[in-house]
Amino acid sequence: MNKKPYTFRTLLKLVSLLSFVFIFSIQAQTQPNIILVIADDLSWDDLGAYGHETVKTPNLDKMAEKGMKFDNAYLTASSCSPSRSSIITGRYPHNTDAEQLHWALPAAQITFSEKLQEVGYWTAAAGKWHLGDEVVDRFDVVHESRFGKDEPSGTDKWLGLLDERPKDKPFFLWLASWDAHRPFFEGEHPVKYAQEDVRMPPYYPATELYLNDFAAYYNEVSRLDYVVGQIVKKLESQGIADNTLIVFIADNGRPYARDKATLYDSGVKTPFIAYWPDGISAGIVSKSIISSIDIAPTFLTLANAELPSTLEGKTLTPLFKAPNTPFRKYAFSERNWHDFEDHGRSVRSEKYRYIRNNYNDLPATPSADTVYHKTWAELVRLNKQGALTNAQSRPFLAPRPKEELYDLTSDPYELNNLASNKEYSNILMEHSEALEQWIKQTNDFIPSFRTHDDFDRETGAITKYRKRNPRPSKMEMYNASGKY
């Protein structure tokens, strides 16, 4: 039988196919594996790598020593689910339609995990989820850990993903712990802490109860560090550690009254460690201001994936080579409903933090997991007795100042509000104007009416308005009024 000669069109198709296969093969070899580790309720300075004198975090410290540490990384919210929704979309919380605690991320939102899937990544999540049901399909595998019902750390399924992954694809892992969320469940802890190990900020009373509770918090931090170390060992044993980028962050600050759910550094400043032997030189420290919305474009850039137009962050990859390149002049964070109603916005520059309290008639009540804990009851009792300092009684202050301004160089705990100090009027105006510009650029807004509290602000008792599973969506809550 005579064979027909190849036509020019057939040859062109063959060459195109071979080119595609070649390019895809090269891309698969150069695309790094990516792991994002998210701590739950961990303040940035509670790691050895960030200067804590007594908390033992040898594995994270080693990653920072052999990789890169960002000293000025900020979250867009100090609230669990809004912070996570912001990270995975690369958008500010008020633009995710999931800015209130427990609101599910809508299916219409574009996530970086789905964009990684489009360029060949196997994507998986394990541990705490807290993103809702509508974006589960953005991962090939999700192993959710239920708080208080499964293993207390929420990390028991992490290592298994490295065995479960396809060996012929790059992978992305979203590893989210429950450590160090309240309540502090007893379990295996690599280090046990005592009262003498505690280094407590001055805005808490150094009572027996607080000292013991901080020691229990440290236990959870060290337990998380141990599991992160096991991940690195597993990567090394599989021979893939060098081309795997691990980024370690927290979703918000430690679970205490002046930290979590606040707009202070202790609430929205995050540890940010990037470890990648093939891509980042050892011992790099960056002082550049970065935001958690920069994580999504960074991962997509490294994966040679499409950058969706919805992204509000920008890639950090230039900083991997030039760590102190000016990157952001300001980092912006927001406070929305989190168990209790509140609405605030914040601007962080290199030296200053500016906060605007839009609902300043309300006290800065912390999250419910803090309010129903005995440390809050002790704070309430001491406040009624007049035994607290002004800094320690701040969560009870109502009305609060409409504006707050702090010099973080001389006042790292943000105790001295300079907003009414005439010597700082130009600084106040600069940051206020920066916030106004951001509000316009990002279409930010104040809701047309307030959301009810889920709990009593003093006792923690559940109110009649409490509805968590599921909480009403933005559409259900606000469309009846015709505006948000």
Average pLDDT for 206-230? 97
Instruction: Let me know whether 90 and 232 are in one domain.
Output: yes
Within a domain: 13:
no
The span from the CA of 322 to the CA of 308, in Å, is 25
Q: How far is CA 237 from the centre of its chain?
A: 29
Q: How many residues does the chain have?
A: 484
User: For 119-177, how does the pLDDT look when each residue is reduced to its tens digit (9 = 90+)?
Assistant: 999 999 999 999 999 999 999 999 999 876 778 889 999 999 999 999 999 999 999 99
Average pLDDT for 266-285? 98
> Which structural domain, as residue segments, surrounds residue 373?
334-481
Q: What confidence tier does 28 reach under pLDDT thresholds 50, 70, 90?
A: very low
| Residues 6+ positions from 94 with CB-CB distance below 8 Å | 334, 336, 442, 443, 444, 445
- Residue 90's Cβ-count burial label (10 Å; 0-12, 13-18, 19+) is buried
Instruction: Let me know whether 371 and 297 are in one domain.
Output: no
pLDDT over 50 (residue 104): yes
Q: What confidence tier does 391 reach under pLDDT thresholds 50, 70, 90?
A: very high
User: For 398-419, how does the pLDDT look when each residue is reduced to its tens digit (9 = 90+)?
Assistant: 999 999 999 999 999 999 999 9
Within a domain: 143:
yes
pLDDT of residue 146: 84
pLDDT of residue 16: 47
Q: What confidence tier does 482 reach under pLDDT thresholds 50, 70, 90?
A: low
pLDDT of residue 468: 72
Q: Which of 281, 298, 324 is the last residue of a domain?
A: 324
Q: What confidence tier does 186 reach under pLDDT thresholds 50, 70, 90?
A: confident
DSSP for residue 455: B
Instruction: Let me know whether 286 and 266 are in one domain.
Output: yes
Instruction: Let me know whether 128 and 260 are in one domain.
Output: yes
Within a domain: 11:
no
Within a domain: 14:
no
pLDDT of residue 473: 81
Q: What are phi and psi of 102, to 5 degrees?
A: 75, 0
User: For 68-85, how does the pLDDT look when each residue is reduced to its tens digit (9 = 90+)?
Assistant: 999 999 999 999 999 999
CATH code of the domain covering residue 133: 3.40.720.10
Instruction: Let me know whether 420 and 455 are in one domain.
Output: yes
Within a domain: 145:
yes
In the chain, pLDDT over 70 holds for what percent of residues? 92
Q: Are 48 and 55 in contact (CB under 8 A)?
A: yes
**pTM of this prediction exceeds 0.85:** yes
Within a domain: 21:
no
Instruction: Let me know whether 66 and 101 are in one domain.
Output: yes
Q: What does 400-421 look like in DSSP terms, one character per residue?
A: PPSEEEEETTT-TT--S--TT-
pLDDT over 80 (residue 19): no
Instruction: Let me know whether 365 and 315 are in one domain.
Output: no
**CB burial readout 168-201, b (16+ within 10 A) else e:** eebbbbbbbbbbbbbebbeeebebebeeebbeeb
User: For 256-267, how does the pLDDT look when each residue is reduced to its tens digit (9 = 90+)?
Assistant: 999 999 999 999
